[in-house]
Amino acid sequence: MKIDDSIKKAAGLAVATTPKQAGQAEPVGAGKAASDSVRLSSQLQALSGQIASTEVFNAEKVAEIKAAITAGHFQVNTEKVADGLMDTVKDLIQPRKA
Protein backbone atom coordinates (compact mmCIF):
# COMPACT_ATOMS: atom_id res chain seq x y z
CA MET A 1 0.00 0.00 0.00
CA LYS A 2 1.44 3.33 -1.04
CA ILE A 3 0.97 6.28 1.28
CA ASP A 4 0.66 9.61 -0.50
CA ASP A 5 1.73 12.72 1.38
CA SER A 6 -0.61 15.24 -0.23
CA ILE A 7 0.17 17.92 2.36
CA LYS A 8 3.73 18.26 1.10
CA LYS A 9 2.48 18.48 -2.48
CA ALA A 10 0.08 21.28 -1.55
CA ALA A 11 2.72 23.26 0.34
CA GLY A 12 2.95 25.83 -2.45
CA LEU A 13 -0.75 26.68 -2.27
CA ALA A 14 -1.63 29.93 -0.56
CA VAL A 15 -4.55 30.34 1.80
CA ALA A 16 -6.91 33.08 0.73
CA THR A 17 -7.75 35.66 3.35
CA THR A 18 -10.36 38.35 3.31
CA PRO A 19 -9.18 41.92 3.69
CA LYS A 20 -9.76 43.53 7.06
CA GLN A 21 -12.79 45.76 7.07
CA ALA A 22 -12.86 49.07 8.88
CA GLY A 23 -14.04 48.70 12.45
CA GLN A 24 -13.09 45.02 12.74
CA ALA A 25 -11.14 44.17 15.84
CA GLU A 26 -7.77 42.51 15.44
CA PRO A 27 -7.44 39.20 17.32
CA VAL A 28 -5.71 39.40 20.68
CA GLY A 29 -2.02 38.76 20.27
CA ALA A 30 -2.10 39.22 16.50
CA GLY A 31 1.19 40.42 15.13
CA LYS A 32 3.05 39.53 18.33
CA ALA A 33 5.40 36.60 18.60
CA ALA A 34 4.24 34.23 21.31
CA SER A 35 6.84 32.82 23.65
CA ASP A 36 6.35 30.36 26.44
CA SER A 37 8.84 29.24 28.99
CA VAL A 38 8.95 25.98 30.85
CA ARG A 39 10.91 25.27 34.01
CA LEU A 40 11.45 21.68 35.10
CA SER A 41 11.58 20.77 38.75
CA SER A 42 14.86 19.45 40.11
CA GLN A 43 13.24 16.02 40.57
CA LEU A 44 12.17 15.89 36.93
CA GLN A 45 15.60 17.06 35.79
CA ALA A 46 17.20 14.23 37.77
CA LEU A 47 14.78 11.67 36.31
CA SER A 48 15.33 12.85 32.76
CA GLY A 49 19.08 12.54 33.31
CA GLN A 50 18.66 8.96 34.53
CA ILE A 51 16.44 8.05 31.59
CA ALA A 52 18.88 9.54 29.09
CA SER A 53 21.72 7.45 30.50
CA THR A 54 19.84 4.12 30.38
CA GLU A 55 19.61 1.89 27.34
CA VAL A 56 16.29 1.44 25.60
CA PHE A 57 16.95 -2.24 24.99
CA ASN A 58 19.32 -4.94 26.13
CA ALA A 59 21.92 -5.25 23.36
CA GLU A 60 23.25 -8.50 24.82
CA LYS A 61 19.80 -10.10 24.72
CA VAL A 62 19.32 -8.91 21.12
CA ALA A 63 22.64 -10.51 20.16
CA GLU A 64 21.57 -13.79 21.82
CA ILE A 65 18.28 -13.80 19.91
CA LYS A 66 20.05 -13.05 16.60
CA ALA A 67 22.47 -15.91 17.21
CA ALA A 68 19.61 -18.29 18.05
CA ILE A 69 17.73 -17.30 14.88
CA THR A 70 20.85 -17.73 12.76
CA ALA A 71 21.54 -21.15 14.29
CA GLY A 72 17.91 -22.19 13.88
CA HIS A 73 17.36 -22.69 17.62
CA PHE A 74 15.03 -19.75 18.32
CA GLN A 75 11.58 -20.86 19.46
CA VAL A 76 8.59 -18.55 19.70
CA ASN A 77 6.40 -18.92 22.77
CA THR A 78 3.05 -18.75 20.96
CA GLU A 79 1.04 -18.60 24.19
CA LYS A 80 2.97 -15.54 25.35
CA VAL A 81 2.52 -13.85 21.96
CA ALA A 82 -1.21 -14.62 21.93
CA ASP A 83 -1.65 -13.36 25.49
CA GLY A 84 0.16 -10.14 24.60
CA LEU A 85 -2.02 -9.62 21.53
CA MET A 86 -5.18 -10.22 23.56
CA ASP A 87 -4.06 -7.74 26.22
CA THR A 88 -3.37 -5.15 23.53
CA VAL A 89 -6.79 -5.67 21.94
CA LYS A 90 -8.49 -5.39 25.32
CA ASP A 91 -6.70 -2.11 25.98
CA LEU A 92 -7.67 -0.76 22.57
CA ILE A 93 -11.38 -1.60 22.78
CA GLN A 94 -11.93 -0.33 26.33
CA PRO A 95 -13.50 3.13 26.45
CA ARG A 96 -11.09 5.81 27.58
CA LYS A 97 -11.71 7.46 30.93
CA ALA A 98 -11.86 11.23 30.72
> Domain coordinates of the chain in residue numbers?
40-93
For 31-85, how does the pLDDT look when each residue is reduced to its tens digit (9 = 90+)? 566 788 888 888 888 888 788 777 778 889 999 999 999 999 999 999 999 999 9
Say if pTM beats, i.e. exceeds, 0.75.
Answer: no
- In this predicted model, what pLDDT tens digit does every residue of 40-55 receive, in sequence order? 888 888 888 788 777 7
Number of neighbours of residue 48 by Cβ within 10 angstroms:
11
